[in-house]
Structure 1
Amino acid sequence: MRKYFSIVSMGRSGSTLLERLLASHPDITSLGEVISPYGKYGKNSSIPIRQFIEHEMFGERTGICGFKMPFDWMLTYPDVFGAFFDLKFKIIYLKRANKLDQFISMKLAQKTGVWESNANYKGARIVIKIEEIGKFFISANYADEVLRQMTSRFPKVEVTYEGLIAGDSHQDILNFLNASGHPLTTNTVRSRTMSRRDVIENFDDVAEAFSGTPHAWFFTAPE
Protein backbone atom coordinates (compact mmCIF):
# COMPACT_ATOMS: atom_id res chain seq x y z
CA MET A 1 0.00 0.00 0.00
CA ARG A 2 1.18 3.50 -0.82
CA LYS A 3 0.62 6.91 0.70
CA TYR A 4 1.35 9.69 -1.79
CA PHE A 5 2.79 13.17 -1.52
CA SER A 6 4.05 15.85 -3.88
CA ILE A 7 6.50 18.71 -3.41
CA VAL A 8 4.93 21.78 -5.02
CA SER A 9 6.98 24.93 -5.53
CA MET A 10 8.25 27.65 -7.80
CA GLY A 11 11.63 27.15 -9.45
CA ARG A 12 14.80 27.94 -7.47
CA SER A 13 12.98 27.39 -4.17
CA GLY A 14 14.92 24.39 -2.87
CA SER A 15 12.75 21.54 -4.17
CA THR A 16 15.79 19.43 -5.13
CA LEU A 17 17.15 19.84 -1.62
CA LEU A 18 13.85 18.73 -0.09
CA GLU A 19 13.43 15.85 -2.53
CA ARG A 20 16.85 14.48 -1.62
CA LEU A 21 16.39 15.05 2.09
CA LEU A 22 13.23 12.97 1.98
CA ALA A 23 14.89 10.32 -0.19
CA SER A 24 17.40 9.75 2.62
CA HIS A 25 14.59 8.43 4.86
CA PRO A 26 14.36 4.62 4.77
CA ASP A 27 10.55 4.65 4.57
CA ILE A 28 10.18 7.31 1.86
CA THR A 29 10.56 7.13 -1.92
CA SER A 30 11.12 10.66 -3.21
CA LEU A 31 11.57 11.31 -6.93
CA GLY A 32 12.36 14.37 -9.04
CA GLU A 33 10.44 16.01 -11.90
CA VAL A 34 8.99 12.82 -13.34
CA ILE A 35 5.90 14.56 -14.74
CA SER A 36 7.48 17.12 -17.05
CA PRO A 37 8.24 17.42 -20.77
CA TYR A 38 11.74 16.14 -19.97
CA GLY A 39 10.78 13.46 -17.46
CA LYS A 40 9.56 9.91 -17.74
CA TYR A 41 5.92 10.91 -18.15
CA GLY A 42 6.69 13.50 -20.83
CA LYS A 43 8.10 10.68 -22.94
CA ASN A 44 5.17 8.38 -22.21
CA SER A 45 2.22 10.75 -21.88
CA SER A 46 -0.25 8.69 -23.91
CA ILE A 47 -1.57 7.14 -20.68
CA PRO A 48 -3.59 9.00 -18.01
CA ILE A 49 -1.53 10.60 -15.25
CA ARG A 50 -3.29 8.64 -12.51
CA GLN A 51 -2.49 5.36 -14.26
CA PHE A 52 1.12 6.43 -14.70
CA ILE A 53 1.48 7.31 -11.01
CA GLU A 54 -0.14 4.09 -9.82
CA HIS A 55 1.50 1.61 -12.21
CA GLU A 56 4.61 3.16 -13.77
CA MET A 57 6.22 5.82 -11.57
CA PHE A 58 7.19 3.83 -8.49
CA GLY A 59 7.43 0.28 -9.79
CA GLU A 60 6.89 -2.20 -6.97
CA ARG A 61 7.74 0.23 -4.20
CA THR A 62 5.23 0.77 -1.39
CA GLY A 63 5.03 3.01 1.67
CA ILE A 64 5.35 6.78 1.43
CA CYS A 65 5.95 7.75 -2.20
CA GLY A 66 6.18 11.18 -3.79
CA PHE A 67 7.75 13.44 -6.37
CA LYS A 68 8.44 17.06 -7.27
CA MET A 69 5.78 19.00 -9.17
CA PRO A 70 7.01 22.52 -10.07
CA PHE A 71 4.48 25.27 -10.74
CA ASP A 72 5.23 25.41 -14.48
CA TRP A 73 4.57 21.71 -14.97
CA MET A 74 1.35 21.89 -12.98
CA LEU A 75 0.11 24.34 -15.60
CA THR A 76 1.38 22.11 -18.42
CA TYR A 77 -0.28 18.98 -16.99
CA PRO A 78 -3.46 20.20 -15.23
CA ASP A 79 -4.83 16.63 -15.06
CA VAL A 80 -2.38 16.06 -12.22
CA PHE A 81 -4.87 17.74 -9.88
CA GLY A 82 -7.44 15.05 -10.55
CA ALA A 83 -4.86 12.36 -9.86
CA PHE A 84 -3.83 14.11 -6.65
CA PHE A 85 -7.44 14.19 -5.50
CA ASP A 86 -8.28 10.59 -6.48
CA LEU A 87 -5.12 9.17 -4.90
CA LYS A 88 -5.46 11.27 -1.74
CA PHE A 89 -2.16 13.10 -2.12
CA LYS A 90 -0.63 15.18 0.62
CA ILE A 91 1.03 18.40 -0.56
CA ILE A 92 4.28 19.85 0.72
CA TYR A 93 4.10 23.47 -0.38
CA LEU A 94 7.63 24.85 -0.48
CA LYS A 95 8.53 28.47 -1.05
CA ARG A 96 11.57 30.68 -0.74
CA ALA A 97 10.79 33.57 1.59
CA ASN A 98 13.73 35.69 0.39
CA LYS A 99 12.81 36.58 -3.19
CA LEU A 100 16.14 38.30 -3.78
CA ASP A 101 17.94 35.01 -3.14
CA GLN A 102 15.50 33.25 -5.46
CA PHE A 103 16.18 35.83 -8.19
CA ILE A 104 19.96 35.55 -7.71
CA SER A 105 19.74 31.76 -7.97
CA MET A 106 17.78 32.00 -11.21
CA LYS A 107 20.15 34.52 -12.80
CA LEU A 108 23.30 32.63 -11.78
CA ALA A 109 21.87 29.36 -13.09
CA GLN A 110 21.07 31.05 -16.41
CA LYS A 111 24.56 32.52 -16.60
CA THR A 112 26.52 29.40 -15.63
CA GLY A 113 24.26 26.58 -16.79
CA VAL A 114 24.37 25.06 -13.28
CA TRP A 115 20.76 24.11 -12.57
CA GLU A 116 21.26 21.11 -10.30
CA SER A 117 22.47 21.26 -6.70
CA ASN A 118 25.65 19.33 -7.48
CA ALA A 119 28.09 22.15 -8.32
CA ASN A 120 28.66 25.81 -7.48
CA TYR A 121 28.53 28.90 -9.63
CA LYS A 122 32.33 29.30 -9.62
CA GLY A 123 32.50 32.96 -8.65
CA ALA A 124 30.02 34.21 -11.25
CA ARG A 125 28.62 37.72 -10.65
CA ILE A 126 25.60 39.58 -11.99
CA VAL A 127 24.33 43.12 -12.54
CA ILE A 128 20.70 43.54 -11.53
CA LYS A 129 18.28 45.82 -13.34
CA ILE A 130 16.11 47.50 -10.70
CA GLU A 131 12.96 47.47 -12.84
CA GLU A 132 13.41 43.77 -13.64
CA ILE A 133 13.85 42.65 -10.07
CA GLY A 134 10.97 44.84 -8.90
CA LYS A 135 8.69 43.04 -11.33
CA PHE A 136 10.10 39.71 -10.16
CA PHE A 137 9.28 40.47 -6.52
CA ILE A 138 5.67 41.16 -7.50
CA SER A 139 5.28 38.16 -9.81
CA ALA A 140 6.96 35.73 -7.39
CA ASN A 141 4.68 36.77 -4.53
CA TYR A 142 1.68 36.47 -6.83
CA ALA A 143 2.77 32.98 -7.91
CA ASP A 144 3.12 31.97 -4.25
CA GLU A 145 -0.49 32.97 -3.65
CA VAL A 146 -1.68 31.18 -6.79
CA LEU A 147 0.06 27.99 -5.64
CA ARG A 148 -1.47 28.34 -2.20
CA GLN A 149 -4.94 28.61 -3.74
CA MET A 150 -4.33 25.78 -6.23
CA THR A 151 -3.45 23.40 -3.40
CA SER A 152 -6.01 24.63 -0.87
CA ARG A 153 -8.29 21.57 -1.12
CA PHE A 154 -5.53 19.10 -0.27
CA PRO A 155 -3.95 18.17 3.07
CA LYS A 156 -0.96 20.49 3.08
CA VAL A 157 2.04 21.65 5.04
CA GLU A 158 3.81 24.92 4.14
CA VAL A 159 7.57 25.11 4.57
CA THR A 160 10.30 27.49 3.44
CA TYR A 161 13.71 26.95 1.93
CA GLU A 162 15.15 28.90 4.81
CA GLY A 163 13.53 26.48 7.26
CA LEU A 164 14.98 23.51 5.40
CA ILE A 165 18.48 24.94 5.56
CA ALA A 166 18.14 25.61 9.28
CA GLY A 167 16.66 22.16 9.86
CA ASP A 168 13.65 23.69 11.60
CA SER A 169 11.00 22.07 9.40
CA HIS A 170 12.38 18.53 8.97
CA GLN A 171 10.37 16.99 11.81
CA ASP A 172 7.23 18.90 10.85
CA ILE A 173 7.40 17.36 7.37
CA LEU A 174 7.96 13.86 8.72
CA ASN A 175 5.05 14.27 11.12
CA PHE A 176 2.85 15.46 8.26
CA LEU A 177 3.78 12.39 6.18
CA ASN A 178 3.33 10.09 9.19
CA ALA A 179 6.92 8.97 8.77
CA SER A 180 9.09 7.73 11.62
CA GLY A 181 11.65 10.05 13.17
CA HIS A 182 14.90 9.71 11.25
CA PRO A 183 17.71 12.19 10.49
CA LEU A 184 17.38 13.66 7.00
CA THR A 185 20.62 14.10 5.07
CA THR A 186 21.62 15.10 1.55
CA ASN A 187 24.62 15.19 -0.74
CA THR A 188 23.51 18.40 -2.44
CA VAL A 189 25.87 21.37 -2.38
CA ARG A 190 25.00 25.03 -2.09
CA SER A 191 25.54 26.46 -5.55
CA ARG A 192 26.09 30.04 -4.39
CA THR A 193 29.10 30.34 -2.10
CA MET A 194 29.51 34.14 -2.26
CA SER A 195 27.53 36.74 -0.31
CA ARG A 196 24.79 38.76 -1.96
CA ARG A 197 27.03 41.82 -1.86
CA ASP A 198 29.85 39.98 -3.63
CA VAL A 199 27.57 38.39 -6.23
CA ILE A 200 25.64 41.55 -7.18
CA GLU A 201 28.00 44.05 -8.78
CA ASN A 202 25.61 46.97 -8.17
CA PHE A 203 24.43 45.76 -4.75
CA ASP A 204 24.38 49.18 -3.05
CA ASP A 205 22.32 50.79 -5.81
CA VAL A 206 19.74 48.00 -5.80
CA ALA A 207 19.54 47.88 -1.99
CA GLU A 208 19.02 51.65 -1.88
CA ALA A 209 16.21 51.41 -4.45
CA PHE A 210 14.26 49.10 -2.14
CA SER A 211 15.14 50.78 1.14
CA GLY A 212 12.03 51.43 3.20
CA THR A 213 9.92 48.94 1.21
CA PRO A 214 8.60 45.53 2.31
CA HIS A 215 11.46 44.03 0.29
CA ALA A 216 14.27 45.79 2.14
CA TRP A 217 14.93 42.84 4.48
CA PHE A 218 15.87 40.64 1.50
CA PHE A 219 19.19 42.52 1.34
CA THR A 220 20.07 42.28 5.04
CA ALA A 221 18.79 38.82 6.03
CA PRO A 222 21.39 36.35 7.38
CA GLU A 223 22.98 34.16 4.75
Structure 2
Amino acid sequence: MVVLVFVMVCGVYICANCLKQISTRTYLNIKVVDQPCQDLGIEQWEVPYVHYPQPETFSREECGCNPVWYFAILSMQRSGSGWFETLLNSHINVSSNGEIFSVISRRANISSLVKTMDKVYNLDWFTSASKNECLAAVGFKWMLNQGLMEHHADIVKYFKKKGVSAIFLFRRNLLRRMISILANSYDKDAKLLNGTHKSHVHSSTEAHILAKYKPKMNATLLIPELTKAEEASAKALQYFKNIRHIVLYYEDVINNRTKLQEVQEFLRLPVRELTSRQVKIHSGLLSEQIENWDDVQQALKGTSYQSFLQSDRKL
Protein backbone atom coordinates (compact mmCIF):
# COMPACT_ATOMS: atom_id res chain seq x y z
CA MET A 1 0.00 0.00 0.00
CA VAL A 2 2.81 2.39 0.90
CA VAL A 3 4.52 1.75 -2.46
CA LEU A 4 1.22 2.22 -4.34
CA VAL A 5 0.54 5.55 -2.61
CA PHE A 6 4.10 6.72 -3.35
CA VAL A 7 3.74 5.85 -7.05
CA MET A 8 0.42 7.71 -7.27
CA VAL A 9 1.85 10.86 -5.64
CA CYS A 10 4.85 10.84 -7.98
CA GLY A 11 2.58 10.38 -10.99
CA VAL A 12 0.40 13.35 -10.03
CA TYR A 13 3.48 15.52 -9.42
CA ILE A 14 5.03 14.64 -12.80
CA CYS A 15 1.77 15.24 -14.68
CA ALA A 16 1.27 18.61 -13.00
CA ASN A 17 4.77 19.76 -13.99
CA CYS A 18 4.30 18.60 -17.57
CA LEU A 19 1.02 20.48 -17.92
CA LYS A 20 2.61 23.60 -16.47
CA GLN A 21 5.49 23.45 -19.00
CA ILE A 22 3.11 22.89 -21.92
CA SER A 23 0.95 25.81 -20.83
CA THR A 24 3.97 28.12 -20.52
CA ARG A 25 5.34 27.09 -23.89
CA THR A 26 1.94 27.65 -25.55
CA TYR A 27 1.65 31.10 -24.01
CA LEU A 28 5.13 32.06 -25.20
CA ASN A 29 4.40 30.83 -28.71
CA ILE A 30 1.21 32.88 -28.92
CA LYS A 31 3.06 35.94 -27.74
CA VAL A 32 5.72 35.55 -30.42
CA VAL A 33 3.10 35.12 -33.17
CA ASP A 34 1.14 38.21 -32.07
CA GLN A 35 4.20 40.45 -31.89
CA PRO A 36 6.75 39.15 -34.43
CA CYS A 37 8.54 42.42 -35.19
CA GLN A 38 9.64 44.17 -32.03
CA ASP A 39 13.37 44.84 -32.31
CA LEU A 40 13.44 47.04 -35.42
CA GLY A 41 14.71 50.29 -33.95
CA ILE A 42 11.37 52.06 -34.40
CA GLU A 43 11.26 55.32 -32.49
CA GLN A 44 8.37 55.90 -30.10
CA TRP A 45 6.76 58.68 -32.20
CA GLU A 46 6.81 56.43 -35.27
CA VAL A 47 4.72 53.64 -33.72
CA PRO A 48 1.29 54.97 -34.90
CA TYR A 49 2.59 55.24 -38.47
CA VAL A 50 4.28 51.86 -38.79
CA HIS A 51 2.19 49.01 -40.21
CA TYR A 52 2.57 45.34 -41.06
CA PRO A 53 -0.19 44.67 -43.66
CA GLN A 54 -1.64 41.21 -44.09
CA PRO A 55 -3.11 41.04 -47.63
CA GLU A 56 -5.91 38.60 -48.35
CA THR A 57 -4.85 37.97 -51.95
CA PHE A 58 -1.23 36.89 -51.41
CA SER A 59 1.31 36.10 -48.72
CA ARG A 60 4.03 38.62 -47.86
CA GLU A 61 5.66 36.39 -45.27
CA GLU A 62 9.15 37.28 -46.52
CA CYS A 63 8.32 40.95 -45.83
CA GLY A 64 6.50 40.28 -42.57
CA CYS A 65 8.85 42.40 -40.47
CA ASN A 66 9.24 45.16 -43.06
CA PRO A 67 7.36 48.21 -41.68
CA VAL A 68 5.10 50.03 -44.17
CA TRP A 69 4.12 53.71 -44.04
CA TYR A 70 0.75 54.85 -45.43
CA PHE A 71 0.49 58.10 -47.40
CA ALA A 72 -1.86 60.08 -49.64
CA ILE A 73 -0.85 62.77 -52.16
CA LEU A 74 -3.45 65.57 -51.83
CA SER A 75 -3.48 67.88 -54.82
CA MET A 76 -5.49 69.55 -57.61
CA GLN A 77 -5.63 68.69 -61.29
CA ARG A 78 -2.74 69.99 -63.43
CA SER A 79 -0.53 70.75 -60.44
CA GLY A 80 2.24 68.31 -61.33
CA SER A 81 0.89 65.44 -59.23
CA GLY A 82 1.15 62.93 -62.10
CA TRP A 83 4.82 63.77 -62.65
CA PHE A 84 5.48 63.77 -58.91
CA GLU A 85 3.89 60.34 -58.51
CA THR A 86 6.07 58.85 -61.27
CA LEU A 87 9.09 60.12 -59.33
CA LEU A 88 7.90 58.36 -56.17
CA ASN A 89 7.16 55.16 -58.06
CA SER A 90 10.70 55.09 -59.43
CA HIS A 91 11.71 54.22 -55.87
CA ILE A 92 11.96 50.46 -55.54
CA ASN A 93 10.19 50.46 -52.16
CA VAL A 94 7.24 52.75 -53.01
CA SER A 95 3.85 51.90 -54.46
CA SER A 96 1.65 54.90 -55.27
CA ASN A 97 -1.48 53.65 -56.97
CA GLY A 98 -2.68 56.63 -58.96
CA GLU A 99 -5.86 58.70 -58.91
CA ILE A 100 -8.06 55.93 -57.51
CA PHE A 101 -11.02 58.20 -56.67
CA SER A 102 -11.42 59.44 -60.24
CA VAL A 103 -13.97 56.59 -60.42
CA ILE A 104 -17.22 58.10 -59.10
CA SER A 105 -18.56 54.89 -57.51
CA ARG A 106 -15.52 54.70 -55.21
CA ARG A 107 -16.35 58.10 -53.71
CA ALA A 108 -20.15 57.77 -53.60
CA ASN A 109 -20.16 57.92 -49.79
CA ILE A 110 -17.81 57.57 -46.84
CA SER A 111 -18.33 53.80 -46.74
CA SER A 112 -17.10 53.34 -50.30
CA LEU A 113 -14.19 55.70 -49.60
CA VAL A 114 -13.12 53.70 -46.54
CA LYS A 115 -13.56 50.36 -48.32
CA THR A 116 -11.31 51.51 -51.16
CA MET A 117 -8.64 52.93 -48.85
CA ASP A 118 -8.62 49.77 -46.73
CA LYS A 119 -7.97 47.71 -49.85
CA VAL A 120 -5.08 49.95 -50.93
CA TYR A 121 -3.41 50.09 -47.52
CA ASN A 122 -3.81 46.34 -47.03
CA LEU A 123 -1.81 45.86 -50.27
CA ASP A 124 -4.78 44.19 -51.99
CA TRP A 125 -4.90 46.87 -54.70
CA PHE A 126 -2.98 46.01 -57.86
CA THR A 127 -1.84 48.59 -60.40
CA SER A 128 1.23 49.10 -62.56
CA ALA A 129 2.82 50.65 -59.47
CA SER A 130 2.64 47.39 -57.49
CA LYS A 131 6.07 46.12 -56.53
CA ASN A 132 7.47 42.65 -55.93
CA GLU A 133 10.04 44.05 -53.51
CA CYS A 134 9.23 44.62 -49.86
CA LEU A 135 7.36 47.91 -49.70
CA ALA A 136 8.28 50.69 -47.31
CA ALA A 137 5.50 53.11 -48.32
CA VAL A 138 2.13 52.63 -50.01
CA GLY A 139 -0.44 55.23 -51.02
CA PHE A 140 -2.31 56.95 -53.81
CA LYS A 141 -3.13 60.33 -55.37
CA TRP A 142 -6.28 62.19 -54.28
CA MET A 143 -7.64 65.33 -55.95
CA LEU A 144 -9.45 67.85 -53.72
CA ASN A 145 -12.62 67.68 -55.86
CA GLN A 146 -12.94 63.89 -55.59
CA GLY A 147 -14.87 63.63 -52.32
CA LEU A 148 -11.93 64.70 -50.19
CA MET A 149 -13.35 68.08 -49.14
CA GLU A 150 -16.96 66.93 -48.81
CA HIS A 151 -16.06 64.13 -46.38
CA HIS A 152 -13.02 65.78 -44.82
CA ALA A 153 -14.10 65.24 -41.18
CA ASP A 154 -14.51 61.47 -41.61
CA ILE A 155 -11.34 61.22 -43.69
CA VAL A 156 -9.34 63.03 -41.00
CA LYS A 157 -10.61 60.47 -38.46
CA TYR A 158 -9.61 57.64 -40.79
CA PHE A 159 -6.14 59.11 -41.39
CA LYS A 160 -5.59 59.49 -37.64
CA LYS A 161 -6.81 55.97 -36.87
CA LYS A 162 -4.76 54.35 -39.63
CA GLY A 163 -1.68 56.56 -39.26
CA VAL A 164 -1.82 57.97 -42.80
CA SER A 165 0.60 60.78 -43.65
CA ALA A 166 -0.46 63.48 -46.13
CA ILE A 167 1.72 64.95 -48.89
CA PHE A 168 0.24 68.24 -50.12
CA LEU A 169 1.34 69.20 -53.62
CA PHE A 170 0.20 72.57 -54.93
CA ARG A 171 1.26 74.98 -57.65
CA ARG A 172 2.42 78.49 -56.78
CA ASN A 173 1.60 80.03 -60.15
CA LEU A 174 -2.11 79.31 -60.50
CA LEU A 175 -2.18 81.09 -63.87
CA ARG A 176 0.11 78.44 -65.35
CA ARG A 177 -2.17 75.80 -63.83
CA MET A 178 -5.16 77.37 -65.61
CA ILE A 179 -3.30 77.27 -68.93
CA SER A 180 -2.65 73.56 -68.41
CA ILE A 181 -6.30 72.91 -67.50
CA LEU A 182 -7.64 74.72 -70.59
CA ALA A 183 -5.14 73.07 -72.92
CA ASN A 184 -5.84 69.60 -71.53
CA SER A 185 -9.59 70.17 -71.82
CA TYR A 186 -9.20 71.28 -75.44
CA ASP A 187 -7.14 68.22 -76.34
CA LYS A 188 -9.80 65.84 -74.98
CA ASP A 189 -11.86 66.79 -78.05
CA ALA A 190 -9.15 67.83 -80.51
CA LYS A 191 -6.87 64.84 -79.85
CA LEU A 192 -3.85 66.53 -81.38
CA LEU A 193 -1.55 63.49 -81.10
CA ASN A 194 -2.74 61.45 -84.07
CA GLY A 195 -6.28 61.22 -82.77
CA THR A 196 -5.20 60.28 -79.25
CA HIS A 197 -5.66 62.33 -76.10
CA LYS A 198 -2.78 62.32 -73.61
CA SER A 199 -2.72 64.21 -70.34
CA HIS A 200 0.99 63.44 -69.93
CA VAL A 201 3.66 62.80 -72.55
CA HIS A 202 7.03 61.10 -72.64
CA SER A 203 8.71 62.82 -75.59
CA SER A 204 9.68 66.39 -76.46
CA THR A 205 8.02 65.96 -79.87
CA GLU A 206 4.64 65.20 -78.32
CA ALA A 207 5.09 68.03 -75.81
CA HIS A 208 5.86 70.48 -78.65
CA ILE A 209 2.70 69.48 -80.55
CA LEU A 210 0.43 69.95 -77.52
CA ALA A 211 2.10 73.25 -76.56
CA LYS A 212 1.16 74.78 -79.93
CA TYR A 213 -2.38 75.31 -78.69
CA LYS A 214 -2.80 78.70 -77.00
CA PRO A 215 -5.99 78.96 -74.91
CA LYS A 216 -8.00 82.17 -74.87
CA MET A 217 -8.84 83.08 -71.27
CA ASN A 218 -12.00 84.75 -70.04
CA ALA A 219 -10.49 87.88 -68.49
CA THR A 220 -13.72 88.61 -66.59
CA LEU A 221 -13.71 85.26 -64.78
CA LEU A 222 -9.95 85.09 -64.35
CA ILE A 223 -9.69 86.53 -60.84
CA PRO A 224 -12.71 84.58 -59.45
CA GLU A 225 -11.24 81.34 -60.79
CA LEU A 226 -7.80 82.04 -59.32
CA THR A 227 -9.39 82.97 -55.99
CA LYS A 228 -11.44 79.77 -55.99
CA ALA A 229 -8.32 77.63 -56.51
CA GLU A 230 -6.41 79.55 -53.85
CA GLU A 231 -9.22 79.11 -51.32
CA ALA A 232 -9.51 75.39 -52.05
CA SER A 233 -5.87 74.73 -51.20
CA ALA A 234 -6.13 76.91 -48.05
CA LYS A 235 -9.21 74.98 -46.89
CA ALA A 236 -7.49 71.65 -47.47
CA LEU A 237 -4.52 72.72 -45.35
CA GLN A 238 -6.89 73.89 -42.63
CA TYR A 239 -8.97 70.68 -42.64
CA PHE A 240 -5.92 68.39 -42.46
CA LYS A 241 -3.62 70.53 -40.30
CA ASN A 242 -3.68 68.01 -37.44
CA ILE A 243 -2.60 65.15 -39.70
CA ARG A 244 1.12 64.44 -40.05
CA HIS A 245 1.89 66.18 -43.35
CA ILE A 246 4.38 67.90 -45.60
CA VAL A 247 3.59 70.78 -47.99
CA LEU A 248 5.29 70.89 -51.40
CA TYR A 249 5.02 73.20 -54.38
CA TYR A 250 5.53 72.01 -57.92
CA GLU A 251 7.92 74.84 -58.77
CA ASP A 252 10.08 74.10 -55.73
CA VAL A 253 10.37 70.41 -56.59
CA ILE A 254 11.49 71.32 -60.12
CA ASN A 255 14.03 73.93 -59.07
CA ASN A 256 15.33 72.26 -55.91
CA ARG A 257 15.82 68.51 -56.16
CA THR A 258 16.66 68.28 -52.44
CA LYS A 259 12.88 68.50 -51.97
CA LEU A 260 12.69 64.91 -53.20
CA GLN A 261 15.10 63.91 -50.48
CA GLU A 262 12.85 65.62 -47.92
CA VAL A 263 9.89 63.60 -49.18
CA GLN A 264 11.80 60.32 -48.91
CA GLU A 265 12.89 61.17 -45.39
CA PHE A 266 9.29 62.12 -44.54
CA LEU A 267 8.19 58.64 -45.64
CA ARG A 268 11.15 57.06 -43.80
CA LEU A 269 12.55 55.66 -47.04
CA PRO A 270 16.15 54.89 -47.92
CA VAL A 271 17.11 57.93 -50.03
CA ARG A 272 17.57 57.16 -53.73
CA GLU A 273 17.81 59.09 -57.00
CA LEU A 274 14.23 59.47 -58.32
CA THR A 275 13.51 59.74 -62.03
CA SER A 276 10.55 60.28 -64.37
CA ARG A 277 9.99 59.76 -68.08
CA GLN A 278 7.37 62.51 -68.26
CA VAL A 279 8.19 65.62 -70.31
CA LYS A 280 6.83 69.04 -69.38
CA ILE A 281 4.38 70.37 -72.00
CA HIS A 282 4.13 74.11 -71.28
CA SER A 283 7.69 75.18 -70.60
CA GLY A 284 7.87 78.41 -72.57
CA LEU A 285 7.16 82.03 -71.66
CA LEU A 286 3.68 82.82 -70.40
CA SER A 287 3.22 85.43 -73.10
CA GLU A 288 3.76 82.69 -75.69
CA GLN A 289 1.10 80.40 -74.21
CA ILE A 290 -1.98 82.63 -73.97
CA GLU A 291 -3.82 83.89 -77.05
CA ASN A 292 -5.18 87.06 -75.38
CA TRP A 293 -2.08 87.85 -73.33
CA ASP A 294 -2.75 91.59 -73.25
CA ASP A 295 -6.23 91.06 -71.76
CA VAL A 296 -4.82 88.77 -69.09
CA GLN A 297 -2.12 91.28 -68.20
CA GLN A 298 -4.70 94.03 -67.86
CA ALA A 299 -7.00 91.88 -65.70
CA LEU A 300 -4.27 90.94 -63.21
CA LYS A 301 -2.37 94.20 -63.11
CA GLY A 302 -2.60 95.82 -59.67
CA THR A 303 -4.12 92.70 -58.03
CA SER A 304 -2.63 90.19 -55.61
CA TYR A 305 -2.12 87.91 -58.61
CA GLN A 306 0.12 90.31 -60.53
CA SER A 307 3.17 88.31 -59.41
CA PHE A 308 2.02 85.49 -61.71
CA LEU A 309 2.77 87.76 -64.65
CA GLN A 310 6.24 88.56 -63.37
CA SER A 311 7.21 84.89 -63.72
CA ASP A 312 7.00 85.33 -67.49
CA ARG A 313 9.99 83.14 -68.04
CA LYS A 314 10.75 79.59 -68.96
CA LEU A 315 10.04 77.06 -66.20
TM-score between the two structures when normalised by the length of structure 2: 0.64
Deviations for 1:102-138, whole angstroms, at most 9, x for unmatched residues? Answer: 1111111111125622253241111111112111111
* Cα distance per residue 1:47-69 (max 9 Å; x no partner): 72443233322678632111101
Which residue of structure 2 lines up, in the alignment, with residue 148 of structure 1? 237
Alpha-carbon distance in structure 2 between the residues aligned to 1:36 and 1:83: 20
The answer as to 2:215 corresponding to 1:215 is: no
CA distance in 2, matches of 1:186, 1:4: 22
Q: Which has the higher helix share?
A: 2
CA distance in 2, matches of 1:147, 1:6: 13
Distance in 1, Cα, partners of 2:82 & 2:198: 10
Q: Does 1:201 align with 2:253?
A: no
Q: Counterparts in 2 of 1:97-136, with a 5 A limit?
A: 97-113=172-188, 114=197, 116-118=199-201, 119-120=206-207, 121-136=210-225
Residue identity opposite 1:216 in structure 2: Q
- Structure 1 residues 115, 148: CA separation in 2 closer, same or farther (over 3 Å shift)? farther
The Cα shift of 1:82 comes to 3.7
Distance 2:165 2:113 in 1: 25
**Offset of 1:42 from its aligned partner?**
6.4
Greater CA drift, 206-215 or 19-28: 206-215
Corresponding residue for residue 86 of structure 1 = 161
TM-aligned CA distance change 1:47 to 1:159, over 3 Å: closer
Q: Specify which structure has the bigger relative contact order, considering alpha-carbon pairs within 8 angstroms and separated by 6 or more residues.
A: 1
Which residue does 2:280 correspond to in 1? Answer: 190
1:51 aligns with 2:118: yes
Distance (Å, rounded) in 2 between the aligned partners of 1:67 and 1:17: 13
Deviation at 1:85, TM superposition (A): 2.1
Structure 1 residue ranges without an equivalent (≥5): none
Distance 1:101 1:212 in 2: 18
- Relative distance call for 1:50 and 1:140 in structure 2 (3 A) is closer
SS at match of 1:187: coil
Please say if residues 50 and 83 of structure 1, whose CA atoms lie closer than 8 Å, have aligned partners that are also in contact.
Answer: no
Distance in 2 (alpha carbons) for counterparts of 1:18 and 1:77: 25
- 1:13-49 CA deviation, whole Å, 9 max, x = no partner? 111111110001112112201233269x569x49724
Q: CA RMSD in A?
A: 2.6
1-side partners of 2:87 and 2:164: how far apart? Answer: 19
Where structure 2 has 5 or more consecutive residues not aligned to the other structure, the ranges are 1-51, 53-67, 189-196
Go from structure 1 to structure 2 and tell me whether the alpha carbon gap of 1:76 and 1:197 turns closer, same or farther (over 3 Å shift): same
Matched, 1:163 2:252: yes
Aligned residues: 222
Displacement of 1:209 after TM fit?
2.4
Point out the more displaced range, 190-199 or 61-70: 190-199
Q: Which residue of 1 aligns with 2:85?
A: 19
- Greater displacement, 95-104 / 122-131: 122-131
Distance 1:47 1:84, change over 3 A: closer
SS in 2 for 1:190: coil
